[in-house]
Amino acid sequence: MSDTTLSHPATAARPDAGQRASRDLLRRGRLKPAEIVFWLATAASFFLLPDRHLLLSEIVILGLFALSLDLIIGYAGVVSLGHGAFFGLGAYVAGLVSVHLTGEPLTGLILAALAAGILGLATGPLLLLRASDLTRLMVTLGVAMLLLEAANRAAWLTGGADGLQGVTINPLLGRFEFDLFGTTAYAYCLIVTFALFLLARRVVTSPYGLSLLAIRDNALRARSMGIPVGPRILGIYAFSALIAGVAGALLTQTTMFVSLDVLAFHRSADVLLVLVLGGVGYLYGGLIGAIAFKLLQDWFSAITPQYWMFWMGLVLMVIVLIGRDNLNALPRTLMRRLRREDRA
Amino acid sequence: MQRRNLLLGAILVASTALAGMPALAAGDPFKIGLILPMTGPFASTGRQIEAAARLYMAQNGDEVAGRKVELIVKDDASVADTTKRLAQELIVRDKVGVIAGFGLTPLAMATAPLATRAKVPAVVMAAATSSITEQSPYVVRTSYTTPQVTSKIAEWAAGQGMKKVVTVVSDYGPGLDAEKTFVAVFGAAGGEVTETLRVPLQNPDFSPFLQKVADAKPDAIFAFVPSGVGAQFMKQFVERGLDKTGVKLLADGGITDDDILNGMGDPALAAITGFHYSAAHDSELNKKFVADFASANDGMRPNFMAVGGYDGMHAIYAALEKTGGDSSGDALIAAMKGLAWESPRGPISIDPETRDIVQNVYLRRVERQGDQLWNIEFETFEAVKDPGKTGS
């Protein structure tokens, strides 16, 4: 199928180039051994750490949220300081669905995803008006702040500062109740995250994903090659918003509570931090960053509830300085190091 | 063969003895999970409550009814889902007998359903929205409620012959609660609230609102703002010369928070506040509390958060004493209902019906004594119940 689409006249003149591209895509699409090990280890955590399921669910949700941000930053080069808007919208939609419509979790999840995706489609064009990073930071931040204030105002709908009351989620698939130990919650989060990860992976290793990379590296050149820059960016932005919405919905459904906090600025800032920590542009950055971030936080705050932020900040600075990296180079050095460790 | 049987028998005995251990409740430590905002904008709440809880344990020992009491402190940075996750972990992993703390209303609201499900008492030591105790039959409050205090300020104002009042509140849950209560109670007492002004919670600048107040020329202004920005509010109040024009400043006591009162300087002298606790409360118990608190914490003065934490610990200790060491949630809650004792703030009790606190509300003015500012109580409303509850 991809072969036929690729062999339009321009590439037919140089068949080897088209073949090379499709072979390259196929190679990128294959799961690598390290990736299989990563997911096996994740699955094993479910059985090996039965009393940490609550924390693990939180990690997976943050990881999925960071993954959604990676799609736009790492693959399309669109920076955002307001990704929390989609996360928060997803969280509220899932909460409202359970209060007013049905406690069935999958319905809430899908509706939350759609709502966030639509918001992404609606606000995406704002990013295209002025394609500079600073403008985009401002616009995304603005959207998130507008949403926060709207939720604060609409207290009749959202419960305002007190939080939305009465969120109850029915057993998953009618059989698995969300228990106190967080076991069902963790399994649910893991499966949803894995499924969305596979989908995201499919998207970025498709010809579409390749065109995004071209846009990221040089938008002007991509345009002159005939890539429709605007629609492509809009597409990935909406997809990323949709995933962020799912992450928000997972948070609401597993904690059975939602308050204004899901829309707060620190969500957007944290997720960016997590992503930078793990590295952008290879999808695993968000997940690895979330694991490192949450475990460090949990560990430090258990030792010193009052001053853990100081140690956290110190460690983050050391990591970034030792990596002596900017946003783009971090994943490469990390991967290089990982590979070196693999060989050793 | 015989030896093997012996060995088997010994192992059996040993294992049943080991398995039987947890059943001997008396030997088990009783754990209290204290979840507080220790970092972020509300860190002072956490600091005060933790210090007070530790002081209570230092004064009263760590053994109740033959059980050793352990305190586990967790920081939720006032993020509601973190509060809930920590509470859940404390219950399922650490097997705590009570969860306590809760700096803000949403944090308590998020955790209430969990208390019901796990049948673990939740002692609210800070959050002040009236409806929290209605969220779960396992919630007990030892702080105060906004309507409890505000209603008495409104009554007092009407009693003083004030006719026109303008309200200025921060635009968030507790602020709106206070506005609603004041308008209702003051109106019922024959007064009139001529204007209700709401100030954004983030980066407040009060001057345009205070100008509006000055133009309206009311008898008094009723203010409810979070304790941190209270200083700024009073400074601008005095800068505009409103205190000279005879406009009285009435406020919830959070505005002259004992923790930061000394830093506010003279503008604080303008305020007349209603509240349930002042570090200057005139009783032996309170003098000892303030002195011990200061010596244990580098001279820090306890505020209303600290007294909420101190009394919360008392409620837990007293309940455990009453049940004779039985730490099941139902027994503890039953024991807490109707508890009455002398607190540093005065006589208090837990309403057996609503599990909310019943306490005196005092009207105070700020006075300078030596080089320190204090909230001096001059009028007492005794045993005030929360008027926000349905049916009362």
Domains of chain A, CATH where assigned: 30-343 (1.10.3470)
Dump strand ranges (E) for B192-323.
192-199, 220-224, 248-252, 271-275
Predicted local confidence at residue B203, as pLDDT? 66
Q: State the SS3 of B7-63.
A: HHHHHHHHHHHHHHHHHCHHHCCEEEEEEECCCCCCHHHHHHHHHHHHHHHHHHCCE
Under 8 Å CB-to-CB from A341, ≥6 apart: which residues?
A: none
Residue A51 banded pLDDT, cuts 50, 70, 90: confident
Who among B43, B81, B91 is closest to A180 (CB)? B91
Residue A335 banded pLDDT, cuts 50, 70, 90: low
Predicted local confidence at residue B392, as pLDDT? 40
In angstroms, what separates the C-alpha of B343 from chain A's closest C-alpha?
A: 27
Q: Which residues of A touch B93 (CB under 8 A)?
A: 51
Mean pLDDT of B234-239: 86
pLDDT tens across B107-127, in order?
Answer: 898 899 889 988 999 999 998
Predicted local confidence at residue B93, as pLDDT? 87
Residue B390 falls inside a structural domain: no
B33 & B137 share domain: yes
- Does the pLDDT value for residue A197 go beyond 60? yes
Residue B266 falls inside a structural domain: yes
- Does the pLDDT value for residue B306 go beyond 70? yes
In whole angstroms, give the CA distance from residue B285 to residue B344.
Answer: 5
Q: Is 0.90 surpassed by the pTM of this model?
A: no
Mean pLDDT of A19-47: 84
Residue identified by tokens 């007294």 is B307
Whether the Cβ atoms of residue B37 and residue B46 lie closer than 8 Å to each other: yes
Predicted local confidence at residue B3, as pLDDT? 53
pLDDT tens across B43-92, in order?
Answer: 888 999 999 999 999 999 888 888 899 999 999 888 888 898 899 889 98
Predicted local confidence at residue B374, as pLDDT? 92
Mean pLDDT of A83-89: 94
Q: From B76, which residue of chain A is nearest by alpha-carbon distance?
A: A305
Q: Which residues of B touch A308 (CB under 8 A)?
A: 39, 75
User: Any CB–CB contact under 8 A between B36 and chain A?
Assistant: yes
- Which helix or strand (DSSP H or E) is residue B376 part of? strand B372-384
B93 & B212 share domain: no
Predicted local confidence at residue B266, as pLDDT? 84
Q: From the CB of residue B16, how many other CB atoms can be counted at a distance below 10 Å?
A: 10
Q: From the CB of residue B190, how many other CB atoms can be counted at a distance below 10 Å?
A: 9
Beta-carbon separation of A308 and B106 below 8 A: no
B139 & B286 share domain: yes
User: Any CB–CB contact under 8 A between A251 and chain B?
Assistant: yes
Q: Which residue has the higher pLDDT, A20 or A273?
A: A273
B117 & B36 share domain: yes
Residue B9 falls inside a structural domain: no
What ipTM goes with this model? 0.72
Mean pLDDT of A299-306: 82
Beta-carbon separation of A182 and B88 below 8 A: yes
Residue B5 banded pLDDT, cuts 50, 70, 90: low
Beta-carbon separation of A259 and B80 below 8 A: yes
Q: Which residue has the higher pLDDT, A101 or B182?
A: B182
In whole angstroms, give the CA distance from residue B298 to residue B300.
Answer: 6
B118: its two tokens: 């796990």
Q: Give me chain B's average pLDDT, please.
A: 86
pLDDT tens across B318-366, in order?
Answer: 999 999 888 888 999 999 999 999 999 999 999 999 999 999 999 999 9
Residue B162 falls inside a structural domain: yes
B217 & B176 share domain: yes
In angstroms, what separates the C-alpha of B147 from chain A's closest C-alpha?
A: 16
Residue B311 falls inside a structural domain: yes
Residue B4 falls inside a structural domain: no
Gap between the terminal Cα atoms of chain A: 41
**Cβ pairs A/B, distance under 8 A:** 79
B205 & B167 share domain: yes
In whole angstroms, give the CA distance from residue B105 to residue A257.
Answer: 13
Beta-carbon separation of A163 and B110 below 8 A: yes
User: Any CB–CB contact under 8 A between A54 and chain B?
Assistant: yes
Q: Which residue has the higher pLDDT, A340 or A147?
A: A147
Predicted local confidence at residue A344, as pLDDT? 52
pLDDT tens across B132-161, in order?
Answer: 898 899 999 999 999 999 999 999 999 888
In angstroms, what separates the C-alpha of B127 from chain A's closest C-alpha?
A: 11
Beta-carbon separation of B173 and A162 below 8 A: yes
Q: Which residues of B touch A257 (CB under 8 A)?
A: 80-81, 84, 109-110, 113
In angstroms, what separates the C-alpha of A189 from chain B's closest C-alpha?
A: 15
Orientation of helix B304-323 relative to helix B43-60, angle to 10°: 40
Gap between the terminal Cα atoms of chain B: 75
Who among A162, A180, A260 is closest to B118 (CB)? A180
Secondary structure letter of residue B126 according to DSSP: S
The segment with the largest mean pLDDT, out of A8-22, A107-121, B28-42, B165-179, is A107-121
B328 & B213 share domain: no
Predicted local confidence at residue B153, as pLDDT? 92
Domain range enclosing B224: 147-275+361-384
Whether the Cβ atoms of residue B357 and residue B351 lie closer than 8 Å to each other: yes
Q: Which residues of A touch B106 (CB under 8 A)?
A: 161-163, 259-261
B53: its two tokens: 């809880």
Under 8 Å CB-to-CB from B46, ≥6 apart: which residues?
A: A305, A306, B36, B37, B38, B39, B75, B101, B103
B129 & B165 share domain: no
Predicted local confidence at residue A334, as pLDDT? 61
- Cα B357 to Cα A36, B353, B363, B387: the distances in Å are 56, 11, 18, 11
Count: domains in chain B? 2
Q: Which residues of B touch A302 (CB under 8 A)?
A: 74
Who among B75, B88, B109 is closest to A301 (CB)? B75
Residue B232 falls inside a structural domain: yes
B258 & B336 share domain: no
Whether the Cβ atoms of residue B122 and residue B145 lie closer than 8 Å to each other: no
- Which helix or strand (DSSP H or E) is residue B172 part of? none
In whole angstroms, give the CA distance from residue A238 to residue B122.
Answer: 42
- Does the pLDDT value for residue A331 go beyond 70? no
- Does the pLDDT value for residue A254 go beyond 70? yes
Whether the Cβ atoms of residue B228 and residue B347 lie closer than 8 Å to each other: no
- Cα B354 to Cα A85, B329, B349, B358: the distances in Å are 38, 17, 11, 10
CA-CA-CA-CA torsion for B247, B253, B254, B258, nearest 10 degrees?
Answer: 110
Q: From the CB of residue B288, how many other CB atoms can be counted at a distance below 10 Å?
A: 12
In whole angstroms, give the CA distance from residue A159 to residue A149.
Answer: 13
Q: From the CB of residue A257, how many other CB atoms can be counted at a distance below 10 Å?
A: 29
- Cα A176 to Cα A109, A170, A184, B84, B114: the distances in Å are 16, 9, 6, 21, 18
Mean pLDDT of B204-216: 86
Residue type, B365: R
- Does the pLDDT value for residue A184 go beyond 70? yes
Q: From the CB of residue A332, how many other CB atoms can be counted at a distance below 10 Å?
A: 13
B51 & B130 share domain: yes
Q: Which residues of B touch A255 (CB under 8 A)?
A: 81, 84-85, 110
Interface test with A, best of B38, B42, B81, B95 (most A CBs within 10 A): B81
Predicted local confidence at residue A310, as pLDDT? 87
Residue B366 falls inside a structural domain: yes
Percent of residues, chain A, with pLDDT higher than 90? 29
How many alpha carbons lie under 13 Å from residue B130 in its C-beta half-sphere? 19
Q: Give the closest residue to B168 by CA, choosing from B269, B268, B270, B250.
A: B250
Beta-carbon separation of B80 and A165 below 8 A: no
Percent of residues, chain B, with pLDDT higher than 70? 92
Interface test with A, best of B45, B75, B105 (most A CBs within 10 A): B75
- Does the pLDDT value for residue A5 go beyond 60? no
Beta-carbon separation of A161 and B80 below 8 A: no
A231: its two tokens: 């629609």
Who among B73, B105, B131 is closest to A305 (CB)? B73
User: Any CB–CB contact under 8 A between B92 and chain A?
Assistant: yes
B260 & B373 share domain: yes
Predicted local confidence at residue B27, as pLDDT? 63
B199 & B270 share domain: yes
Secondary structure letter of residue A50 according to DSSP: G
* CATH code of the domain covering residue B126: 3.40.50.2300
